[in-house]
Structure 1
Amino acid sequence: MVTIGWSDAAARAGVTIRELSEIDEFQQVNRLFDDIWHPEPRNVPVPLELMIGFAHAGGYVAGAYEGDTLVGASVGFLAADRTLHSHVTGTVAGRGIGYALKLHQRDWCRKRGLRRITWTFDPLVRRNARFNLVKLGARPEEYLEDFYGTMADAINEGDASDRLLAAWPVDQDRRAAADAPAVDEPPRALLACENGRPVFHLAGGEVVLVGTPPDVEELRRTDPGTAAEWRAAVRTALGGLMGAGGEVIGFTNQGEYEVWVH
């Protein structure tokens, strides 16, 4: 849960964060994103022209710098209902740069009277789910099947682009969704990770668990068949529960979504 300001988080990460407005800065963002995703030219995370347009039209384009070197960037556009949709964020991994950028983004939105920030993330990627749900306190609002269609890059290629739409309130530090209801029994797993594979179980009660693979990106490279099994299983379990009105209220240390079924 968020407890510090963006400037403190940036200092801890050893970076400075600022909005971007010049052509050479946008080109630096493109090069950084190329280094992270290694996309095919037709599948870049955000075209240079759109980045320029978003910034000129009042959207969010910001970068994190270590000295003169760009080590993180985030691009977002204004959406309906006083919302910023954070389309893409990429950083050098493992240093807290993404956390600092999200806090900067939230402060930017607060100053402009926006209510919330939304973004999409792959429900199979544990570290992203933990970051979004546990560290930031965002909550998934919708399960989106194959949202981006085929993605030709080194991270996503060969897998359907299912995503969760996360929402993060701008004006509060607490978690966005209701706390888990008091229950007499601990939550039971509807979908579990057993020996690295997805296994369904009968599960009742108000809160059920939906497991994820330990490292789906490695699975895509080494065992694409099992990665595809996980995609189908999580789509059935998590997508089915959310489609029926279930709310994701947390994410466990074991890599399971906690879903309130009501």
Structure 2
Amino acid sequence: MIEVRELHEMAEFERVYGVFDDIWHFAPGDPPITLELMRALSHAGGYVAGAFEGDRLVGGSVGFLAAGAALHSHVTGAAAGRGIGLELKLHQRRWALERGLERITWTYDPLVRRNAHFNLAKLGARPREYLPCFYGVMTDVINQGDESDRLLAEWPLTEPHVAALARREPQVTPVPGDAVVALADEGGRPVPGPIDAGTVLVAVPADIEGLRRADPGTAKAWRHAVRDVLGGLMAEGRTVTGFSGKSYYVVEKT
């Protein structure tokens, strides 16, 4: 049983920092959040929460209030594959709605398939902006010098599809039969295709984190291909409407 609750004490923030460091193995002097900032955000009415399995802290999330009646979720980390991330997000949603907030936003790496599936298919969030190298070149163990392209995701908390997903009602993003593949995964490498269609699909690699370690050149090729194709389509005003088959972004003309 996972319990998520707000945190307020320095000893609790130290435990959250430890969970984050176990996940990312921050370079010295380069954490995404500090104990002092967690303390300040918590005291000022921001969001600092931990997920507990009994007495054991297994995940955490830190966010701050943003313009436009929104909570911006700055960093969230949890043990993988046990539903902890979903419990943290559902707690965030309840917290935000109780305070009259309409949206939660966050950034994520567009190349990480499981995050794209989680954010778009399981939560119903939608990418609103492609942000090239948003945080500069990353130094933690997971990202290993990669350029930090990010998608800004927006979670409209009261939309019917989000409310349904919050009730754990599964939904599938429909893909029309005439959709074309604008970026394909062929033999593990990105291959651009046509983009002149009402609906296009943009693939991402099966395991970008492993690829960074095993074949940095191919990982870099994926980074720039997704930036050019997905980022280019979004810059033209097209809308990402979902993530299909745990493999492709679905992008539509609007």
Cα distance in 2 for partners of 1:248, 1:202 equals 17
Partner amino acid, structure 1, of 2:22: D
In structure 2, the residue corresponding to 1:90 is in which secondary structure?
A: strand
Cα distance in 1 for partners of 2:174, 2:23 equals 40
1:193 corresponds in structure 2 to 185
Q: Is residue 136 of structure 2 the alignment partner of residue 135 of structure 1?
A: no
Q: Is residue 123 of structure 2 the alignment partner of residue 123 of structure 1?
A: no
Q: Is residue 131 of structure 2 the alignment partner of residue 144 of structure 1?
A: yes
Contact kept? 2:200, 2:250, Cα under 8 Å: yes
Cα distance in 1 for partners of 2:36, 2:127 equals 30
Cα distance in 1 for partners of 2:174, 2:209 equals 33
**Structure 1 stretches of 5 or more lacking a match?**
1-13
Cα distance in 2 for partners of 1:175, 1:97 equals 18
Cα distance in 1 for partners of 2:42, 2:201 equals 40
Q: Is residue 219 of structure 2 the alignment partner of residue 227 of structure 1?
A: yes
Cα distance in 1 for partners of 2:25, 2:13 equals 17
C-alpha displacement of 1:41: 2.2
Cα pair distance change 1:26/1:173, threshold 3 Å? farther
C-alpha displacement of 1:175: 5.0
Q: Is residue 97 of structure 2 the alignment partner of residue 105 of structure 1?
A: no
Cα pair distance change 1:208/1:157, threshold 3 Å? same
Cα distance in 2 for partners of 1:29, 1:175 equals 28
Cα deviation per residue 1:16-75 (whole Å; 9 max; x = unaligned)?
Answer: 111000010000011110100001122212111111111111000000111221101000
Alignment of 1:131-210 (within 5 A): 131-175=118-162, 185-210=177-202
Cα distance in 2 for partners of 1:210, 1:63 equals 34
Contact kept? 1:190, 1:208, Cα under 8 Å: yes
Cα distance in 1 for partners of 2:38, 2:89 equals 18
1:70 corresponds in structure 2 to 57
Contact kept? 1:241, 1:261, Cα under 8 Å: no
Cα deviation per residue 1:98-134 (whole Å; 9 max; x = unaligned)?
Answer: 0001000000000000010000000000000000000
2:167 corresponds in structure 1 to none
Cα distance in 2 for partners of 1:220, 1:197 equals 13
In structure 2, the residue corresponding to 1:154 is in which secondary structure?
A: coil
Cα RMSD over matched residues?
1.7
In structure 1, the residue corresponding to 2:237 is in which secondary structure?
A: coil
* TM-score using structure 1 length: 0.90
Question: Equivalent pairs: percent with the same residue?
Answer: 59
Mean CA deviation greater in 113-122 or 65-74: 65-74
Mean CA deviation greater in 37-46 or 236-245: 37-46
Cα distance in 2 for partners of 1:181, 1:73 equals 33
Contact kept? 2:175, 2:250, Cα under 8 Å: no
* TM-score using structure 2 length: 0.93
Contact kept? 1:33, 1:45, Cα under 8 Å: no
Question: How many residues of Structure 1 are paired with residues of Structure 2 in the alignment?
Answer: 246
Cα pair distance change 1:182/1:41, threshold 3 Å? closer
In structure 1, the residue corresponding to 2:64 is in which secondary structure?
A: strand
Partner amino acid, structure 1, of 2:200: V
Which aligned segments of 4 or more residues in structure 1 are displaced greater than 4 angstroms? Answer: 179-183
Cα distance in 1 for partners of 2:3, 2:246 equals 34
Contact kept? 2:50, 2:57, Cα under 8 Å: yes
Alignment of 1:17-36 (within 5 A): 17-36=4-23
Cα pair distance change 1:261/1:181, threshold 3 Å? farther
Partner amino acid, structure 1, of 2:209: E
Partner amino acid, structure 1, of 2:198: E
1:44 corresponds in structure 2 to 31
Q: Is residue 42 of structure 2 the alignment partner of residue 55 of structure 1?
A: yes
Cα pair distance change 1:168/1:204, threshold 3 Å? same
